[in-house]
């Protein structure tokens, strides 16, 4: 009799230990600690290879991790483990549903529900979740099953969470129904991080940053090990350009779930936050561990260009760009991919190839043409292709997109290229209105005006040269930067006050004194001032 009692006690202890272990494993999946959960499920399967439940939840772990093929393998193994378990029929049904066999999946689910007479809330919930997570969702059936499960076990938090998810999918424009279900979770357990995070996500979708952020913080305070709260908070931060906070949350998330999938998301956060030099080693880390996609090569290409301190950055950027264009589907390539390729080529001294890339991209659409017009104009200026410069900047001007410094280059292109001095004068005039303190704008407008008034019949450049003198402080007149400007302006104005109808000996003397102070051997200045 004592032996029977001891045997029963051992069985109960083992059952309790097993239940606790699978509960822990499932919790690790929920906390997105997938690698640790995988280890736990493998131990459970090794200890009890005929329990379909172990295989089913191991498949769920792979599914949540994003490894669908592995998930399908484990779901199908449920039937091999125990062909009489309702979990086996749910597992095979999920495998079929994820492969697109809806009729086959429904047949398997019907068998699982029939075996349990629609009274096992866990089986009801698992089938409902299958309908919610499939590509072709069956929301009405999921909601029906969840209502049955909730009637059976009204205190089951997971049923209410899934109901909220289902209602959220059904009426995405109105989250009030979903909120009611999530509130039921918080009535049952006010400190449920899962319920709090689900609620925060609804406010996040409604772009209520402050409330969503505060709820994520509450969830993290209640359970610092609940990894999804850090991930969701990080993604919220990125939505509202809070890159520093996003990166901080990602780092905490990684301390709980240091998988390559997580590190990839962290690399994306660094990249989107403009921290390119920090993003590079993270991107390479996941890439070198067989976690790769075309977006990784795109991020590498862009990051190498932006990170000027990275050794051989341009060479590495071109290599990443070349790989990207060989692996990325044509319909996924965007104009910035060509732009960065062109900029890398230009930095590598291959300006002619850069022009080809930019022109190719400009032909895609108007947005691309406007975006790349400035880059092309600058490259054309390097080659002294002034007509090319003019064409690009005039295109921007026609679309009201030309900015201050670009008027300067446009004016110089007209001046040196077709020698259209009137157009050059107009460009410099626009520049002066936009940047009233920019001295080169007045200087080059004066030159354009001289070119259209070479006989000085109208002395058109007087105001422009006077602006040059007025804007350069006395202490800077002799500087390398401004000396040539001051000499040219002073000589013109000195000549004007001597030879124009507006003769003014005092002002003429002032101008020629400026010339003499900068160039004591200037013949004109010495002659006017009577210096031998």
Per-residue model confidence as pLDDT tens digits over 46-68: 999 999 999 999 999 999 988 89
Q: What pLDDT does 290 receive?
A: 65
Q: Are residues 477 and 531 in the same domain?
A: yes
Q: Is 502 a member of any domain?
A: yes
Q: What pLDDT does 10 receive?
A: 37
Q: Is 1 a member of any domain?
A: no
How far is residue 266's CA from residue 253's CA, in Å, rounded to a whole number? 9
Decide: pTM greater than 0.75. Answer: no
Q: What pLDDT does 173 receive?
A: 85
Q: What pLDDT does 243 receive?
A: 79
Give the model confidence (pLDDT) of 284-314 as tens digits.
Answer: 988 888 667 788 899 999 999 999 888 999 9
Q: Is 438 a member of any domain?
A: yes
Q: Are residues 476 and 531 in the same domain?
A: yes
Give the model confidence (pLDDT) of 201-228 as tens digits.
Answer: 999 888 899 999 999 999 999 999 899 9
Q: Is 262 a member of any domain?
A: no
Q: Is 316 a member of any domain?
A: no
Q: Are residues 517 and 494 in the same domain?
A: yes
Instruction: Among 428, 459, 490, identify where a domain stops.
Output: 459
In this prediction, residues 362-368 reach a mean pLDDT of 78
Q: What pLDDT does 81 receive?
A: 95
Q: Are residues 479 and 530 in the same domain?
A: yes
Q: Is 130 a member of any domain?
A: no
Q: Is 43 a member of any domain?
A: no
Q: Is 487 a member of any domain?
A: yes
Q: Kindly state the tokens that stand for 368.
A: 């691309």
In this prediction, residues 466-481 reach a mean pLDDT of 96
Structural domain boundaries, residue 510: 472-532
* Residue whose tokens read 């509960």: 23
Q: Is the pLDDT of residue 165 over 80?
A: yes
Nearest partner of 134 among 95, 163, 107, judged by Cα: 95
Greatest extent of the chain over all pairs of C-alpha atoms, in Å: 135
How far is residue 192's CA from residue 182's CA, in Å, rounded to a whole number? 10
Q: How many domains does the chain have?
A: 2
Average pLDDT, the chain: 90
Instruction: DSSP letter for 134, please.
Output: S
Looking at mean pLDDT, say which of 87-96, 238-247, 339-348, 367-376 comes out highest: 87-96
Give the model confidence (pLDDT) of 419-455 as tens digits.
Answer: 999 999 999 999 999 999 999 999 999 999 999 999 9
Confidence of residue 16 (pLDDT cuts 50, 70, 90): very low
Q: Are residues 478 and 436 in the same domain?
A: no
Q: Are residues 477 and 532 in the same domain?
A: yes
Q: Are residues 528 and 480 in the same domain?
A: yes
Asked whether the beta carbons of 210 and 242 are under 8 A apart, the reply is no
């Amino acid at each position: 009799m004592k032996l029977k009692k001891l045997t029963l006690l051992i069985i109960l202890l083992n059952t309790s230990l097993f239940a606790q272990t699978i509960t822990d494993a499932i919790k690790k999946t929920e906390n997105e600690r997938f690698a640790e959960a995988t280890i736990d499920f493998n131990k459970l399967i090794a200890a009890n290879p005929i329990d379909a439940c172990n295989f089913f939840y191991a498949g769920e772990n792979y599914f949540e991790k994003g490894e669908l093929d592995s998930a399908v393998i484990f779901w199908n193994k449920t039937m091999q483990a125990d062909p009489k378990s309702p979990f086996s029929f749910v597992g095979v049904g999920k495998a079929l549903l994820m492969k697109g066999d809806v009729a086959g999946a429904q047949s398997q689910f019907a068998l699982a529900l029939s075996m349990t007479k629609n009274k096992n809330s866990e089986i009801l919930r698992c089938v409902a979740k299958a309908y919610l997570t499939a590509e072709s969702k069956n929301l009405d059936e999921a909601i029906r099953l969840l209502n049955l499960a909730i009637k059976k076990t009204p205190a089951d938090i997971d049923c209410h969470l899934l109901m909220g998810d289902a209602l959220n999918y059904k009426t995405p424009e109105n989250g009030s129904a979903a909120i009611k279900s999530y509130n039921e979770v918080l009535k049952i357990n006010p400190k449920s991080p899962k319920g709090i995070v689900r609620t925060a996500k609804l406010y996040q979708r409604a772009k209520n940053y402050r409330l969503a952020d505060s709820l994520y913080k509450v969830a993290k305070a209640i359970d610092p090990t609940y990894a999804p709260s850090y991930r969701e908070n990080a993604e919220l931060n990125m939505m509202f350009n809070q890159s520093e906070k996003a990166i901080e949350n990602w780092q905490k998330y990684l301390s709980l779930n240091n998988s390559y999938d997580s590190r990839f998301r962290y690399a994306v956060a660094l990249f989107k936050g403009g921290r390119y030099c920090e993003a590079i080693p993270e991107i390479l880390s996941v890439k070198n561990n067989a976690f790769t996609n075309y977006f990784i090569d795109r991020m590498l290409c862009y990051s190498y260009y932006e990170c000027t301190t990275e050794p051989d950055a341009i060479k590495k950027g071109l290599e990443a760009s070349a790989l990207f264009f060989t692996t990325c589907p044509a319909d996924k390539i965007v104009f910035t991919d060509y732009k960065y390729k062109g900029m890398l080529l230009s930095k590598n001294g291959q300006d002619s190839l850069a022009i080809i890339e930019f022109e190719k991209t400009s032909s895609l659409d108007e947005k691309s043409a406007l975006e790349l017009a400035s880059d092309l104009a600058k490259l054309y200026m390097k080659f002294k292709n002034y007509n090319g410069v003019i064409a690009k900047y005039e295109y921007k001007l026609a679309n009201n997109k030309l900015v201050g410094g670009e008027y300067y280059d446009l004016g110089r292109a007209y001046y040196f290229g077709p020698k259209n001095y009137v157009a050059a004068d107009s460009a410099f005039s626009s520049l002066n209105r936009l940047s009233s303190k920019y001295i080169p704008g007045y200087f080059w407008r004066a030159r354009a005006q001289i070119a259209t008034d070479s006989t000085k019949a109208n002395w058109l450049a007087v105001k422009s040269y006077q602006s040059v003198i007025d804007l350069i402080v006395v202490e800077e007149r002799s500087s390398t930067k401004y000396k040539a400007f001051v000499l040219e302006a002073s000589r013109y104005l000195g000549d004007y006050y001597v030879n124009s109808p507006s003769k003014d000996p005092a002002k003429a003397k002032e101008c020629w004194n400026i010339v003499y102070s900068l160039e004591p051997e200037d013949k004109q200045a010495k002659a006017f001032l009577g210096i031998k």
